[in-house]
């Protein structure tokens, strides 16, 4: 067992977990933050993307023990004062989701893109979302949503 201390969505947490616990399991099963989804569980699909110290990573492929001491932001951490994040608003407005399973990862990944590049082109958005797979194939509206959010962030 390992004691893992992290800051998740601005709150300090400290839990004892088995050494092989991955971050996605730590978030979902230990902290009950089920907004982070697990699709493929082998770092292909991107449904589990969260931010660790400001960078997007796939939480299914990082050990919780190895994230020790970091600041983690999940989809639950985006809402402020009951208001959706501009990226979430844009996904809603542009119908950037159908079943919604991939959406938490898409949103987290897209925010990381805009942190790097303020006004990305369609190609840059598509290249960046390389690691996020939408099984409903709603990519057209996802790109439109990221562009809309870029104009507001």
Partner 1 sequence: MKTFNYHSTKDVKEATKLASSSSAFLAGGMTTLPSMKLGLASYKDIIDIKRIKKLSGIKASGKSVTIGSTTKHVEVANSKEVKKAIPSLAALAEGIGDPQVRNRGTIGGSIANNDPSADYPSACIALNATIHTNNRKISADKFFTGMFETSLKKGELIEAIEFQIPEKSCYQKYPNPASRYAIVGVYVAKHKSDVNVAVTGAKSCVYNEKSIASALLKNFSSSSLDNVKISSSGMNSDIHASADYRANMVKIFAKKAVDAC
Question: Which H, E and C letters describe the chain, residue by residue?
Answer: CEEEEEEECCEEEEEEECCCCEHHHHHHHHCCCCCCCCCCCCCCCCCCEEEECCEEEEHHHCECHHHCCCEEECHHHCCECCECCHHHHHHHHCCCCCCCCCHHHHHHHHHHHHHHCCCCCHHHHHHHHHHCCCCCCCHHHHHHHHHHHHHHC
Residue 124 in the binding site for partner 1 (CB under 8 A):
no
CB of 10 to partner 1, least distance (A): 21
Shorter beta-carbon distance to partner 1: residue 2 or 147: 2
Residue 28 in the binding site for partner 1 (CB under 8 A):
no
For partner 1, which stretch binds (CB under 8 A), given 84-92, 94-102, 108-116, 144-152?
A: 108-116
Residue 18 in the binding site for partner 1 (CB under 8 A):
yes
Residue 112 in the binding site for partner 1 (CB under 8 A):
yes
- Residues within window 43-72 making contact with partner 1, judged by CB under 8 A: 43-44, 46, 49, 55-58, 61-63, 65-66, 68
């Amino acid at each position: 067992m390992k004691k893992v201390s992290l800051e998740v969505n601005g709150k300090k947490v400290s839990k004892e977990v088995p050494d092989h616990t991955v971050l996605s399991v730590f978030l979902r099963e230990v902290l009950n933050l089920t907004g982070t989804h697990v699709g493929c569980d082998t770092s292909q699909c991107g449904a589990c993307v969260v931010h660790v110290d400001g960078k997007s990573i796939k939480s299914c492929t990082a050990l919780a023990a190895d994230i020790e001491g970091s600041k983690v932001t999940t989809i639950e951490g985006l809402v402020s004062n009951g208001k959706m994040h501009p990226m979430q608003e844009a996904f809603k407005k542009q119908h950037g989701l159908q079943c919604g399973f991939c959406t938490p990862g898409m949103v987290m990944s897209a925010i990381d893109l805009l942190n790097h590049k303020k006004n990305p082109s369609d190609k840059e958005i598509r290249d960046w979302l390389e690691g996020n797979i939408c099984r409903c194939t709603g990519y057209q509206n996802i790109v439109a949503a990221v562009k809309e959010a870029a104009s507001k962030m």
